[in-house]
Amino acid sequence: MKKLRLGSAILGFLVFAQVLQAGTTGKIVGQVTDVETSEPLPGVNVVIEGTELGAATDEGGNYVILNVPPGKYALRFSMIGYAPYVVRGVEIVIDRTTRVDAKLRQKVLQGKEVVVVARPPMVVKDVSNSQMNLASEAVVSMPVHTVEEALSLQAGIERSPQGLLVRGGSANQTVFMVDGLSLNDERSNIPYAAVSLSAIREVQVQTGGFNAEYGNVRSGLVNVVTKEGSKRTYNGSLIGRYSFPAPKHFGPSVYDRFSYFNRPYEDPAVCWTGTNNGAWDAYTQRQYPHFEGWEAVSEATLQDQDPSNDLTPEGAKRLYEWQHRRQGDIKKPDYVLDFGFGGPFPGISHRLGDLRFFLTHFRLRDMFVFPLSRDSYQENHTQLKLTSDVTPAIRVSLTGLYGEVHSVSPYNWKTTPTGRVLRTTEEVANLLNSTSGNAILYMPGYFSPSSIYRTMVGAKITHVLSPVTFYEVSVEHLLSRYNTFKIADRDTTKRYEPVPGYFVDEAPYGYWGYSVTGIDGMIMGGWMNLGRDKSVNATTSLKFDITSQVNLRHQLKAGFNVVYNDYNIRSYTESPSMSTWNRTMEYRVFPFRVGTYVQDKMEFQGFIANLGLRLDYSNA
């Protein structure tokens, strides 16, 4: 189906309406005047110390510096015949305009430079929508270990098993960008928030009022700018957390012999003659499953036509304990490791435009409240960013990312796996609300193990055409491979003897695709481990943006983007004994979309307006 969507002309004649530029940089503007006469000073050199960024004032004493990375800087003003003037602590925020005015004093003899410290404004004039910016220092000081945890502490943002929920929207309504490159998995459009805290330079979250540049976003935009290595020195950071093995629940373990699932079969007061024998009051009976007692179970085995299953009440109870032998106590620690290191590329930095690197590695293990086919959620990702100033006007940035997620697929028999995996303690605990709660606890293969492997490579070129005009070209390729699979087959050799003379196999361990139940009716085969997913998705994106400060009042920005997808979906459920429930979703399609936009940020004294137009074409 082909869709043609015309983005509405967004006329933001609201006072101080913000322009959202999907950018990774900010802007500095201001006016330089004579401190005694208040006359504007043309030709003043304005330089950001430690960088090659700067500008000169025009005949009205005004200047503009575009494309400034986020951070804190010192701004130096100099002109022949005037004492140098330095403003320190100038903070640049993504997509915001920072105003720094200066008043220079004439000098007769050689004098000292004037140094002042910038103070952030009480009211940010070019922001009217819900927006928040977090600098690296703020993120690192929080009691968190992932960027999602940091953002979930902000107003209007909630962390869910699928990802971040912004303004009550679902996770697939949020765009997650790193250095201008999208990290949304196009299969589900759920963000892949693979950013180490060690790599963060600044994070910006926008929750409304999106400008024409943005398409495919509804609830929120997370824009992360990462660090780049220093040109001269090496630096690094290490963040870690280690939690000793410990229960993640209150009260007794769900595996305890007097837990909800076990007490009717283990409590001497009722296990032999049944929960209705009068030993429990009516309230207690309502709190646990009904059980007829081991004497009744034994009698049933003795009276059927199969002599091989004859059991005494004591033997039946021992068989139950064998089939429920799994213990889920947490025996491994939780941990988080976040490492970052960067600097000039050894040996060749000065020959390749001050080539520098920043390498990060993140590794996490979060043990489940009780084990499934895997006992924990594990995630790791490694990112390398290379930056080179090819010429004073051209900067090239290369980014490579590889990440893995290992967990369990909570597939639904009504559908095939979609790439979703279990992440949180709450998700796992809620599985016990199912009528198959005991099977989930004691049969390791009830749910299919699942892994996701992602590789992203991207390149970005920034070319400054003039002090007031620059363009950016970025290309990105994101590959996601899914593997939801069957556990190892069950060893059906009857070599275990839980009851003297009564041999059984290793059930409920191992995969068995045919229906079989335990002595208490617990599922031990057939309805288990159904999900399979061998899908491979690839997304290739191209983006071009050009920004020009036409004059003091108008900043124009225009561009286009192309997103091309290769969906190779091979997702299905499999059961040899219940073919009625087998479902298959196999197809390969190549949807794409194209978007183009133009926008104008108009800045007047006490009044800022934003006008934009966007056109999208989608072939899906």
- What's the pLDDT tens digit per position in 474-523? 999 999 999 999 999 999 999 999 999 999 999 999 999 999 999 999 99
Output the pLDDT for position 133.
Answer: 83
CB 398 within 8 A of CB 278: no
pTM of the model: 0.85
CA gap 456, 176 in Å, rounded: 14
User: Is residue 26 a part of any domain in this protein?
Assistant: yes
CB 315 within 8 A of CB 340: no
8-state DSSP, 106: B
Q: Is the pLDDT of residue 22 over 50?
A: no
CA gap 329, 447 in Å, rounded: 19
CATH of the domain at 92: 2.60.40.1120
User: Is residue 48 a part of any domain in this protein?
Assistant: yes
User: Is residue 227 a part of any domain in this protein?
Assistant: no
CA gap 135, 119 in Å, rounded: 16
Neighbours of 494 (CB within 10 A): 11
CB 565 within 8 A of CB 184: no
Write down the H helix ranges in 108-177. Answer: 136-141, 147-152
Q: Phi first, then psi: give them for residue 13, nearest 5 degrees.
A: -80, 35
8-state DSSP, 443: -
User: Is residue 484 a part of any domain in this protein?
Assistant: yes
Of 226-235, 358-367, 383-392, 434-443, which range is least confident?
434-443
Span between the terminal Cα atoms of the chain, in Å: 6
DSSP calls for 363-410: EEEEE-SS-SSSSEEEEEEEEEEEEEEEETTEEEEEEEEEEEEEEEE-
Output the pLDDT for position 135.
Answer: 85
Work out the mean pLDDT of the chain and round it to a whole number.
88
* DSSP SS3 for 10: strand
- pLDDT band, residue 23 (cuts 50/70/90): low
Q: Is the pLDDT of residue 578 over 80?
A: no
Residue type present at position 30: G
Output the pLDDT for position 122.
Answer: 58
Domain boundary among 87, 117, 147: 117
Q: Is the pLDDT of residue 251 over 70?
A: yes
* DSSP SS3 for 272: coil
| pLDDT, average across residues 398-416 | 88
Q: Phi first, then psi: give them for residue 428, nearest 5 degrees.
A: -65, -45
- pLDDT band, residue 76 (cuts 50/70/90): very high
CA atoms within 13 A on the CB side of 424: 9
User: Is residue 13 a part of any domain in this protein?
Assistant: no
Output the pLDDT for position 450.
Answer: 96
- For residue range 470-481, what is the model confidence (pLDDT) as tens digits? 999 999 999 999
Residue type present at position 541: S
CB 13 within 8 A of CB 615: no
CATH of the domain at 469: 2.40.170.20
CA gap 594, 542 in Å, rounded: 10
Q: Phi first, then psi: give them for residue 85, nearest 5 degrees.
A: -130, 125
Q: Is the pLDDT of residue 123 over 90?
A: no
Instruction: Compute CA 2 distance to the chain's CA centroid, rounded to the nearest angstrom.
Output: 30
CB 525 within 8 A of CB 515: yes
Per-residue HEC secondary structure of 520-548 comes to CCCEEECCCCCEEECCEEEEEEEEEEEEE
Peptide bond into 344 cis (omega under 30): no
- pLDDT band, residue 253 (cuts 50/70/90): very high
| pLDDT, average across residues 59-83 | 91
The candidate with the shortest Cα–Cα distance to 221, out of 126, 280, 151, 286, is: 151
Which two structure tokens, joined as six digits, stand for 360? Answer: 């990060």
User: Is residue 33 a part of any domain in this protein?
Assistant: yes
CB 206 within 8 A of CB 129: yes
Q: Is the pLDDT of residue 17 over 50?
A: no
Domain boundary among 78, 97, 117: 117
| pLDDT, average across residues 348-355 | 93
Of 24-28, 315-319, 406-410, 511-515, which range is least confident?
24-28
**Residue-number span of the structural domain to which 78 is assigned:** 21-117
Domain boundary among 117, 142, 175: 117
Residue length of the chain: 620
Q: How many domains is the chain partitioned into structurally?
A: 2
The candidate with the shortest Cα–Cα distance to 21, out of 120, 106, 97, 116, is: 97
Residue type present at position 55: A
Output the pLDDT for position 604.
Answer: 80
CA atoms within 13 A on the CB side of 598: 2
- pLDDT band, residue 14 (cuts 50/70/90): very low
User: Is residue 607 a part of any domain in this protein?
Assistant: no
Per-residue HEC secondary structure of 327-374 comes to CCCCCCCEEEEEEEEEEECCCCHHHCCCCEEEEEEEEEEEECCCCCCC
Q: Is the pLDDT of residue 15 over 60?
A: no
- For residue range 126-145, what is the model confidence (pLDDT) as tens digits? 665 567 888 888 888 888 88
45, with CB counted inside 10 A (0-12, 13-18, 19+), is middle
Identify the H or E element spanning 429.
helix 425-430
CB 209 within 8 A of CB 20: yes
Instruction: Compute CA 582 distance to the chain's CA centroid, rounded to the nearest angstrom.
Output: 32
Per-residue HEC secondary structure of 44-98 comes to CEEEECCCCCEEECCCCCEEEEEEECCEEEEEEEEECCEEEEEEEEEEECCCCEE
User: Is residue 602 a part of any domain in this protein?
Assistant: no
Q: Is the pLDDT of residue 581 over 80?
A: no
- For residue range 136-191, what is the model confidence (pLDDT) as tens digits? 888 888 888 888 888 888 888 888 777 788 887 888 888 888 888 888 888 888 88
